[in-house]
Amino acid sequence: KTGMFTYDPGFTSTASCSSSITYIDGEKGVLLYRGYPIEQLAEHCTFLEVCYLLLNGELPTPDEMQQFEGTITMHTMVHDQLTNFFKGFRRDAHPMAIMVAVVGALSAFYHDALDIKSKRDRDISAIRLIAKVPTIVAMCHKYSTGLPFMYPQNKLSYVENFMRMMLGTPCDDFLPNPVLVKALDRILILHADHEQNASTSTVRLAGSSGANPYACITAGIACLWGAAHGGANEAVLNMLEEIGDVSNITKFINKAKDKNDSFRLMGFGHRVYKNYDPRAKLMRETCHEVLTELGLHDDKIFKLALELERIALEDEYFIEKKLYPNVDYYSGIVLHALGIPTNMFTAMFAMGRTVGWISHWDEMIADPEQKIGRPRQLYTGATKRDIPPQHIKR
């Protein structure tokens, strides 16, 4: 049942829940959102159209889209008292630490009167999160730079608004390059959902207790932060900068193959894909488009990434282990080219994934038979025994 976990005798935990949102075929490298291939959605839709699709199961009509986008726009500002939360952090606090705190605080501002059993109230929570998370992400960046927070502008599109809040200042009329806006819009589509990954399963398990959606999404953000999951995009760029030159690639490939070395090639491998992650192909194309638009097609890090990918895909260890580049491999490079600081990469992933998390939460809460998740364990501790006499108090 949705949100229930069952352990199979092989002791590999299998999250067994039914969902109609996203389908992955790891062997064939297939990813469908509500039945539509990720390649077609990335090519023909906007991120907000995909948000509507994930939340409602169908692509919006023009009227539905106009109303959805207008409602999102009207919720992009955050309660002004939320800005006080930032002041408690050092300027160099990791943005994901601030995201966990501030998104969690939304529970205190927006949830009191809501009933999660009401579809209307759940929709309001979904809209607020999709609308406010970009504002909070941009605030995290501004806080770290000492620059003032930027307010959203209702005349701008969702991604234009975010890029202006992130990269503009009150002293300029910054408007992002339309080619870069389209690229970031596509990057958000590629991150929007991915079935029962660690953070989505975390959101479902938290939500199965009846916790409010803001707290559940916060649990997802915390889980996503890990380098094995959403923290990998930041780790990829740090790894490429450490490799530095194509002459060092073989050394790092050998480290990744060494069982006595904990180093793993960041951005490679996946729990499900044993073929090329379809998002990685689209991310590499987007990366190339952005670098070309910015006149950075000779970008050293991108060329290093292409060569590392070429060598790894020809290496028998990676072929045997079916290790291919995943969504995180190229995302760091393109985010870097867009002017997003490395420590903000995972927050960007969270911004894209918020709609997936809240769609899974909504699907689970809407199930009238849904019960609290209760994973079981394989007990490997001591058998039953009595306390030794020396520990018994007379």
Among 270, 299, 360, 362, the active-site one is 270
In the complex with ligand SDX, the residue whose CB is nearer, 174 or 263, is 263
284 touches 297 (CB < 8 A):
no
Helix (H) or strand (E) run with residue 23 in it:
strand 22-25
The least CB distance from residue 321 to ligand SDX, in Å, is 4
Among 299, 315, 328, 362, the active-site one is 328
The least CB distance from residue 182 to ligand SDX, in Å, is 21
Q: Establish whether 229 is a catalytic residue.
A: no
The least CB distance from residue 272 to ligand SDX, in Å, is 6
Binding site for ligand SDX (CB under 6 A): 194, 197, 228-229, 232, 256, 264-272, 321, 323, 326-328
In the complex with ligand SDX, the residue whose CB is nearer, 128 or 279, is 279
> What token pair was written down for 220?
């997802």
Alpha-carbon dihedral of residues 42, 78, 124, 5, nearest 10 degrees?
A: 70
Distance CA 351, CA 265 (A): 25
Q: Establish whether 270 is a catalytic residue.
A: yes
The least CB distance from residue 36 to ligand SDX, in Å, is 17
The least CB distance from residue 134 to ligand SDX, in Å, is 19
In the bound state, the residue with its beta carbon closest to ligand SDX is: 269
The least CB distance from residue 237 to ligand SDX, in Å, is 12
Phi/psi of residue 57, each to 5°? 95, -15
The sign one gets for the Cα dihedral 77, 211, 233, 277 is negative
> What token pair was written down for 39?
């390649």
In the complex with ligand SDX, the residue whose CB is nearer, 124 or 190, is 190
Short-list 302, 294, 300, CA closest to 338? 294
In the complex with ligand SDX, the residue whose CB is nearer, 17 or 150, is 17
Please name the amino acid found at residue 87.
K
DSSP secondary structure of 335-387: HHHTT--GGGHHHHHHHHHHHHHHHHHHHHHH-TT-----------SPPS-PP
In the complex with ligand SDX, the residue whose CB is nearer, 143 or 318, is 318
In the complex with ligand SDX, the residue whose CB is nearer, 64 or 285, is 285
Distance CA 144, CA 29 (A): 38
Cβ-count burial 132-146 (b if 16+ within 10 Å, e if not): bbbbbbbbbbbbbee
Q: Return the active site residues.
A: 270, 328
